[in-house]
Structure 1
Amino acid sequence: MALTLAVTLACGQPSPTRTETVELTPPAVNTVAQPGDVATVAPPQAVESAAQPAVEQPAQSGTPETKNQLAALEVTAAHDEVMSHIYERTVPSVVGLRVIKSISIGGSTPGMPAGDFLSRAAGSGFVWDNEGHIVTNKHVIDGADRIIVVLSDGTQTDAELIGDDADSDLAVVRITDETMRPPAIALGDSDTIKPGQLAVAIGDPFSRGFSMTSGIISAVGRTINPSESNFSVPRVVQHDAATNPGNSGGPLLNREGKVVGINTQIISETGGFSGVGLAIPVNLAKLVAPSLIADGSYEYPFIGIRGVSVTRDIATAMELPADTRGALVLAVGTGTAAEQAGLRASDRLTVINGAELPVGGDIIMAMNGTPLLGMDDVVAYTVEHTQPGDTVEFTIMRDGEKMQMEVTMGARPE
């Protein structure tokens, strides 16, 4: 489950349902409950009558309090129907994954026989296209000897690994049976989501069957480090829809039922869900997944620096305006694009208020005219808007003066 007080892979407890205003006329009563239903939906009048049998139907001239109660019932019924509709429409495109791995155990441990054994892991995924490709987390299928896909109707079939990428913790597998092609799920735009918007997680937690949880987007623009990578994932989505073991690789949906993220980690002190779930932004998957399908891998652009966001204290130590923003270059890799372009790294430390701070070196303030507030923005712009071989114009601050510099992007080392 991984890393105390930091990253644990997709686990949690249910979170409360968020009520949101949706303009939707409730349909007639459902006679058969469907998976994911919160409650049977009836017309507003029927709901009001069942909830308050002793109260006569109010006329249009009823009290404001009564009208407010009716309005609340209508909103609740509409919300319930929206949630059920999201589940019904998307669950055919969500899959459970059963991963079988072989492990070898030596005979040096007393009482433990030597030999080859099998271990099992589980996760979730979603159908990417109509060719049977499924996107999930790399950590879900790592080391797999056999990958079994479980569809929402209980059908099971085998899949093969097409490609994976440690730097985004994404992988693509494909259902080998060409007669089985579940419908592709709709993709959203992770750049447009905001804190407070509805977040819905669907997956196969604990391998007990498909389920959904809901909450809100609680933050955007987080940065995480996958367990098998030396590089950061930018623009990560934070949410409080409960995610549990087995939700890894499953979709995070918006109110339209479109994928905005791929559930991958939680932050927890106990290993249990504490209300902080993290999802890879779907816009990164839009870059990585097609390359995994075509080539089995994805090549990232690479500057070749280590940096830190400029704080007020760093700006003061460098005798710059206190509101100076950007990324201070701390180190430049040998033979990298940064070294070839002539970027300078910080060359000394100074002490302010008892803390050592790096000074000197270039501050990256913009790339191709796009202002950058810190190192996270440098990583995000590089990944999202450049390719190896691209020439990018950097705006930097050097010795208190702004200047432009062209950097030809390299490729990330493996």
Structure 2
Amino acid sequence: MSVKGKASVAVLLAAAFIAGILFTTAGANLFGWGDSVGTESRASGPGGTTAISTTDSEGFQRAVSLEDAFMEVAESVNPAVVQIRSETIQEQRSPFQGTPFEDFFGRPPGGQGGQGGNVRQGLGSGVVVRSDGHIITNNHVVEGADDLNVRLFDGEVYDAEVVGTDPYSDLAVIKIDAEDLRVVSFGDSEQIRPGQWVMAFGSPLDQRLSNSVTAGIISAKGRLQPSGQQDYGVQNFIQTDAAINPGNSGGPLVNLDGRLAGINTAIASRTGQFQGVGFAIPSNTVQRVTNQLIETGRVERARLGVEYRPASQSLIRSEGLPRGTAQIGGVMEGTAAEEANLQPGDLITAIDGEELDDALQISNIIGAKQPGDVVELTINREGETMTVEVELGGIDDPSMAESNNESESENDSALSSTAEDIREELGLALTDVSARELERLGINVDGAVLIEQVDVRNPAVRDSGLQPRQLIVQAAGEPTPSVEAFAEVYDQIEPGQSFRVRVMGPQGTLYVTALQKPAS
């Protein structure tokens, strides 16, 4: 090939490369790959919103480079991003308070009557959601603060007051006395896809680093994390590799249309600093919580009223259940679950017709609803599938009283030969529990056998979730008041067949799992 020909090929390749970049960006906007369609924040005002138009003056799709997109988003969003500084006074007691030496050694500086104080300063970020000065941030940024002030992008500093907080979602709304502020536009976090470009804003590590901007992609969505023992205490996070560090908490994560994808809230790290794994609260949750906090100062959440855990893999496998199936361990008194006659041992396989991929989805779905909403639960009870409509209650419903603490069985009788066979075939060491012992433990069952040991090397029990100190109260639908009774039921099971076992944990919660009798 001639030199002129090679040059022509090089030019064509370069042009194709540039065109590819432009097409990727334009195509992302055109087909929704780079944006999340959402609603504008209310009361936007003359300060405008952060949304960036993807069309030109004639209505045609604009083709912009990735670099230009980053710069446009930074220019549009930064005026809506704020730095939040908090001060918390921590009291300090004199070691001589209340002794004859108190006056002799004096009092801590700044204190009265032996009281002193250290001022702890905190740093966080936030984003304006209403043009009249309402700002969203993380609850942990403002929690316990005695003094709050906000620094805007233009350097103006304002005192701030807390409008409302929501520890369950780790969100809070604060307000400053300002008008006509730039407000963030909300995107639809349901439309977010892994691989989508996003940008994180905030004040990482130091006050002097305000309005720092980093870029990355959505690494994953639907990262569910329990935040407490209640059935509504689960958080749903977006994962990103855009750099997030201490001080970024409460700042916005936005897409390339300048719309809010989430609020930066946490990192996963072994060093305390960013290691490529950051988390943000999805924008749909942020918008729902923000509106309620501004309007009422609190967040209304629905509650089902159950204690639950993931069903064991052996039960899921043997009965062909969805992988996210959850098992009810307890039903709380006076709650929606009790009213709907849900029972310990019930398996929840779907909500409103959607099968569960993760048991924690129950809390996430229910927590996003309002008291009075009706949901349809698909229940598997003793192998039979049914649907149950539940009118949800609120989080102020009374919870179930705690069960008595675990206690060792007083029955130390030797294993019978029948129990020895069960140990060999199922990997379970069982022993009888006296009615007196059950009564002393406050366990209201007709009888049970205690699991003393579990041999996890045995495939029959490996995925069952059974653990020492649990009580087996039923096998294959029959009560098991003794090891002998369990053995009689076990003898009726065909080799190679699976059967259900109902188990009570040390705290009194009931669960169901499955065991498989070894084939002959």
Under TM normalisation by the shorter chain, which class is it? 0.7 to 0.9
Residue 73 (structure 1) shift: 5.6
Whether the 8 Å contact between 1:311 and 1:325 is mirrored in structure 2 is no
Residue type at the aligned position of 1:156:
V
Matched, 1:198 2:236: no
Separation of aligned partners in 1, 2:123 and 2:18 = 40
Stretches of structure 2 that go unaligned for 5 or more consecutive residues are 23-63, 98-104, 109-114, 398-520
Whether the 8 Å contact between 1:308 and 1:330 is mirrored in structure 2 is yes
Separation of aligned partners in 2, 1:227 and 1:108 = 36
Structure 2 vs 1, CA of residues 174 and 363 (structure 1 numbering), >3 Å: closer, same or farther? same
Whether the 8 Å contact between 1:169 and 1:226 is mirrored in structure 2 is no
Higher relative contact order (CA 8 A, sep 6+): 1
Separation of aligned partners in 2, 1:287 and 1:307 = 26
Secondary structure at 1:375 match in 2: coil
Residue type at the aligned position of 2:130:
D
Structure 2 vs 1, CA of residues 173 and 269 (structure 1 numbering), >3 Å: closer, same or farther? same
Whether the 8 Å contact between 1:234 and 1:376 is mirrored in structure 2 is no
Separation of aligned partners in 2, 1:119 and 1:300 = 33
Matched, 1:393 2:379: no
Matched, 1:172 2:155: no
Matched, 1:411 2:394: yes
Secondary structure at 1:397 match in 2: strand
Secondary structure at 1:87 match in 2: helix
Q: Deviations over 1:332-370 (max 9, x none)?
A: 22322212221122xxxxxxxxxxxxxxx1111222333
Aligned pairs for 1:346-361 within 5 A: 361=345
Secondary structure at 1:171 match in 2: strand
Matched, 1:374 2:358: yes
* TM-score computed with the length of structure 1 as normaliser: 0.75
Residue 124 (structure 1) shift: 0.4
Structure 2 vs 1, CA of residues 311 and 86 (structure 1 numbering), >3 Å: closer, same or farther? farther
Residue 59 (structure 1) shift: 9.1
Residue 153 (structure 1) shift: 1.4
**Aligned twin of 1:186:** 185
Structure 2 vs 1, CA of residues 340 and 267 (structure 1 numbering), >3 Å: closer, same or farther? same
Aligned pairs for 1:262-273 within 5 A: 262-273=263-274
Structure 2 vs 1, CA of residues 108 and 69 (structure 1 numbering), >3 Å: closer, same or farther? farther
**Aligned twin of 2:152:** 151
Residue type at the aligned position of 2:330:
A
Aligned pairs for 1:3-402 within 5 A: 62-72=7-17, 75=21, 78-108=65-95, 113=108, 114-175=115-176, 177-178=177-178, 180-205=179-204, 206-208=206-208, 209-226=210-227, 231-316=232-317, 319-321=318-320, 325-345=324-344, 361-384=345-368, 386-402=369-385
Separation of aligned partners in 2, 1:293 and 1:239 = 28
Q: Highest CA radius of gyration, 1 or 2?
A: 2
Separation of aligned partners in 2, 1:167 and 1:231 = 8
Separation of aligned partners in 2, 1:308 and 1:72 = 51
Separation of aligned partners in 2, 1:109 and 1:192 = 61
Structure 2 vs 1, CA of residues 395 and 70 (structure 1 numbering), >3 Å: closer, same or farther? same
Structure 2 vs 1, CA of residues 397 and 310 (structure 1 numbering), >3 Å: closer, same or farther? same
Separation of aligned partners in 1, 2:8 and 2:396 = 70
* TM-score computed with the length of structure 2 as normaliser: 0.60
Residue type at the aligned position of 1:329:
I
Structure 2 vs 1, CA of residues 96 and 230 (structure 1 numbering), >3 Å: closer, same or farther? farther
Residue 109 (structure 1) shift: 8.7
Secondary structure at 1:95 match in 2: strand
Stretches of structure 1 that go unaligned for 5 or more consecutive residues are 1-57, 346-360
Residue 79 (structure 1) shift: 1.4
Residue 253 (structure 1) shift: 0.8
Secondary structure at 1:238 match in 2: strand
Whether the 8 Å contact between 1:308 and 1:374 is mirrored in structure 2 is no
Q: Select between 320-329 and 235-244 the one with higher mean Cα deviation.
A: 320-329
Residue type at the aligned position of 2:354:
T
Superposition RMSD in Å: 2.7
Residue type at the aligned position of 2:326:
A
Residue 126 (structure 1) shift: 0.3
Q: Deviations over 1:360-400 (max 9, x none)?
A: x111122233332332221222123x311223222111111
Moved segments of 4+, more than 6 Å = 58-61, 109-112, 227-230
Q: Deviations over 1:229-284 (max 9, x none)?
A: 98534431000111111100000111211111100011111211111101011101
Whether the 8 Å contact between 1:96 and 1:125 is mirrored in structure 2 is yes
Whether the 8 Å contact between 2:81 and 2:201 is mirrored in structure 1 is yes
Whether the 8 Å contact between 1:332 and 1:344 is mirrored in structure 2 is yes
Whether the 8 Å contact between 1:166 and 1:229 is mirrored in structure 2 is no
Whether the 8 Å contact between 2:228 and 2:234 is mirrored in structure 1 is no
Separation of aligned partners in 2, 1:148 and 1:329 = 46
Separation of aligned partners in 1, 2:4 and 2:220 = 44
Q: Deviations over 1:51-76 (max 9, x none)?
A: xxxxxxx9998443443345546749
Residue 409 (structure 1) shift: 0.9
Whether the 8 Å contact between 2:232 and 2:363 is mirrored in structure 1 is no
Structure 2 vs 1, CA of residues 363 and 227 (structure 1 numbering), >3 Å: closer, same or farther? closer
Structure 2 vs 1, CA of residues 69 and 118 (structure 1 numbering), >3 Å: closer, same or farther? same
Whether the 8 Å contact between 2:231 and 2:304 is mirrored in structure 1 is no
Q: How many residues align?
A: 337
Whether the 8 Å contact between 2:321 and 2:349 is mirrored in structure 1 is no
Separation of aligned partners in 2, 1:109 and 1:302 = 50
